[in-house]
A and B are shown apart, each in its own frame.
Chain A
Amino acid sequence: MELQQPFSLKRFFLQWEWMLVLIFVAVNVINMNLSPYYLDAEGLRDATMSFLDKAFIVLPMVFIIILGDIDISVASIVALASVVMAVSFQAGVPMAAAMVICLLVGTACGFVNGWLIVRFKELSSVIVTLATMIIFRGIAYIILEDQSAGKFPAWFKFLGWGYIGEVPFMLIMFVLAVLFFSWALHKTAFGRRVYSMGNNVTAARFSGINVDGIRILIFTVAGLMSGVTALFLTSRMGSTRPNVATGYELEVITMVVLGGVSTSGGKGRMIGAVIAVFLIGYLRYGLGLINIPAQILLIVIGSLLVAAVLVPNFKWSPRAR
């Protein structure tokens, strides 16, 4: 491990991830005191399922933000993938095939994002995905025209509501996805390349890294995972509309940034974002249990976000410059 700075207990505990864990514990303790219903295994378990759907997009979004890019079209991809799935199912496509179509639509949208960003280097990813955000959602509206579609077979409900043993199916899938994405980011040559691109894309290119290819791949994966979210969300709702998942992109980006991933690229870890997913999820649930109005919730999350951006920039030890 000598490639890293030598281990130091102080540095280990002064990481943003520990701050998150502390806040997470604090949120839980406060919630327990505020509501007698909070500490209830079943309630907590089911609450988990209501925010896990978007968490699948958090994972590739960590990669995107480490690259120094951003993708604000993910929620529109969810809507389009979901709508296309519902429409093809209603047109007689078997449900299993419709689900595959859902994932393919997501992947294709992600590829389009990646290709545009690489092809038109003068455009930033914010601008490109702002455009595709409008386009993808627009296509969903053209297909379904402000209507809803659904009537899926009963077994499709299992995705969003089912359990394996006592554990929600969604949670199992999420844990598997977290393991895979963490491995890819932290334990592989691919992850090392992603970090190098986020820190200095020119040096990465001069080091023989296929920077365009990696960027396209990551945006494509973000599309695929948006398709996964579309599956779970549609399953939970039982029907879909062109305006589903509105605001998901900001929730996802909030989780990633709160997780300590720097928007200037190159810094941050998967674990932070995953903690942030549960932190926001349980915070929301706890405040919901004591019936706090939705607007106050937004203020609390906004304040946390400001802290997330400020605290890691705060120098812990005086440093000569």
Chain B
Amino acid sequence: MKKILTAVAIALAIGGLTVAHAATTAPSGKAKYAIIFKNTGNPYGEKEMAGFKKAADEVGAEAILKAPDQPTAEAQIQMIGELIAQKVAVIAMVGNDPDALEPALKKAMKAGIKVLSLDSGVNPASRMVHINQADPERIGRVQVQAIAEMIGGSGEIAVLSATSQATNQNLWIEWMKKELAENPKMKNIKLVKVAYGDDLRDKSVAEMEGLLKTYPNLKGVIAPTTVALQPPLVSQPRARC
């Protein structure tokens, strides 16, 4: 459901930008719409890129899907340079860092490229539009409520997120903390730690194991990223024995 919404939102945004961009489209062939995701091997990212491709096909543009092998801003800067040289019409950015991409993206905008960010946003100076595919407040609050239900309303919980610079996750975590503070039902729930798995499987597993060892009374973990979602399945049985 969320996926479809995302695709629709992107399609709308691209549609709007395309109108604005129509004049600068390369004379030969289709306009190029590029997306840069955080890194390869992220199931959510693959869905997101697939949706992007579908939307680009619908508006008759060529889709370029890029993702570095490591979730770093350095690699994304390099890719932005490659896209500028290819004279793409649009760069849709899922940033690994809100600020570090600013110089590169500003350069892209200067070259006439429409820059939007989605999912994990970049700072306002680095983009024209940001698409929030979900309501951060609702995500944050609902996730806390869900875990409260799962653990029976009291106990220690932790968060295993993506990178510490992932804008969207950080926003959700803010709302989680607010929900914990504001909702009287949550007064017996204690958030003991926010850990970062950097959207890498091995690091997520290691962080998860760290959480289980450090907090033996841990009742639940919120993992607001698909990569971090996998480790608990791996780690928990081990922790029980």
Contact = CB atoms under 8 A, between A and B. Distances in A.
- Per the CB under 8 Å rule, do A and B touch in the complex? yes
Contact of A298 (B69, B78, B85, B103): B69
Given A237-B73, A243-B198, A47 B165 contact: no
Contacts of B81: 43, 46-47, 50, 285
A5 interface: no
A255 to B, nearest CB: 16
A202 interface: no
B196 interface: yes
Contacts of B104: 236
Interface residues of B, number: 32
A27 B18 CA distance: 35
Nearest to A47: B81
B79 A147 contact: no
Nearest to A247: B70
B40 A244 contact: no
Interface in A113-163: 146-148, 150-151, 157, 160-161
B97 interface: yes
Going nearest first, the 6 A-B pairs with the smallest beta carbon separation are A43-B85, A288-B82, A294-B69, A237-B100, A146-B164, A239-B99
Interface of A: 35, 37-38, 40, 42-43, 46-47, 50-51, 146-148, 150-151, 157, 160-161, 233, 236-239, 241, 243-247, 284-285, 288-289, 291, 293-295, 298
A50 B77 contact: yes
B220 interface: no
Contacts of B155: none
B64 A289 contact: no
Contacts of A51: 78
B72 A150 contact: no
B72 A244 contact: yes
Interface string B30-68: 000000000010000000000000000000000011111
Contacts of B198: 243
Contacts of A289: 82, 85-86
Contacts of B102: 238
B87 interface: yes
B74 A233 contact: yes
Nearest to A150: B99
Contacts of B73: 237
Contacts of A244: 72, 74
Interface of B: 40, 64-70, 72-75, 77-79, 81-82, 84-87, 97, 99-100, 102-104, 107, 164-165, 196, 198
A233 B73 CA distance: 11
A288 B100 contact: no
B82 A47 contact: yes
Contact of B77 (A237, A241, A293): A237
B53 to A, nearest CB: 12
A205 B77 CA distance: 47
Given A289-B85, A289-B86, A294-B67, 7 more contacts: A35-B86, A43-B81, A161-B103, A237-B73, A241-B97, A243-B198, A247-B70
Contacts, number: 88
B74 A237 contact: yes
B82 A246 contact: no
A246 B72 contact: yes
A285 B84 CA distance: 12
A291 B103 contact: no
Given A241-B165, A244-B72, A148 B40 contact: no
A245 B74 CA distance: 8
Contacts of A157: 103
Given A236-B77, A294-B40, A285 B100 contact: no
Contacts of A233: 74
24 contacts: A47-B82, A50-B78, A51-B78, A146-B196, A151-B99, A157-B103, A236-B74, A237-B77, A238-B100, A238-B103, A239-B97, A241-B165, A243-B72, A246-B72, A288-B78, A288-B82, A289-B82, A289-B86, A291-B82, A294-B40, A294-B67, A294-B69, A295-B69, A298-B69
A241 B73 CA distance: 10
Contacts of B65: 291
A238 B102 CA distance: 7
A120 B210 CA distance: 33
B85 A291 contact: no
Contacts of B69: 294-295, 298
Contacts of A293: 40
Nearest to A51: B78
A241 B40 contact: no
Nearest to A161: B103
A283 B100 CA distance: 24
B211 to A, nearest CB: 14
Pick the most buried of A157, A161, A236, A238: most chain B CB atoms within 10 A of its CB. Answer: A238
Pick the most buried of A35, A42, A50, A245: most chain B CB atoms within 10 A of its CB. Answer: A50
